[in-house]
Amino acid sequence: MPVPSATIEQRESGSLVLLCLAAWAIPGVAHLWLHRRSKGVIFLVALPLMFAIGLMLHGRLFPFTFAEPLVGLAAIANLGAGIIYFVSSALGFGLGTVRAVTYEYGNTFLIVAGLLNFLVILDAYDIALGRK
């Protein structure tokens, strides 16, 4: 007896959601899951390393306050880094030292790491759909 197409589509959409959540939580893991090992390892190393460099440069993990729109957008970008964002926040990292010479560079590394992970998620999604 053939499986109804609605059931297959639900199963595929469920696995795509799981894939995207895994890609967000741990950068590069979705590419490893999709057997794109070289890309997966590069993302698995490069994005958390960028995030760590941002913290070492005294960057700030921005709060979710949308009274200032750019601060709110920076917070969303920081959240894109995945689980490492929550671990860093829980451990008290990312408070930012405004007086540090490297403060803005640190912010840039933190924001770009999160935004790049969003692009990595989209890339994994396209690969899973067979577009790449």
Q: In DSSP terms, which residues pair with 88 in a beta bridge?
A: none
In whole angstroms, give the CA distance from residue 75 to residue 62: 5
pLDDT in tens, 19-50: 999 999 999 999 999 999 999 999 999 999 99
The total number of structural domains that make up the chain: 1
- The number of angstroms, rounded, from the C-alpha of 116 to the middle of its chain's C-alpha atoms is 7
Q: What is the pLDDT of residue 132?
A: 77
Give residue 57's domain range. Answer: 5-129
How does pLDDT run across 69-124, given as a tens digit for each residue? Answer: 999 999 999 999 999 999 999 999 999 999 999 999 999 999 999 999 999 999 99
CB 96 within 8 A of CB 54: no
Pull the structure tokens for residue 115. Answer: 């935004």
The 8-class DSSP code of residue 4 comes to P
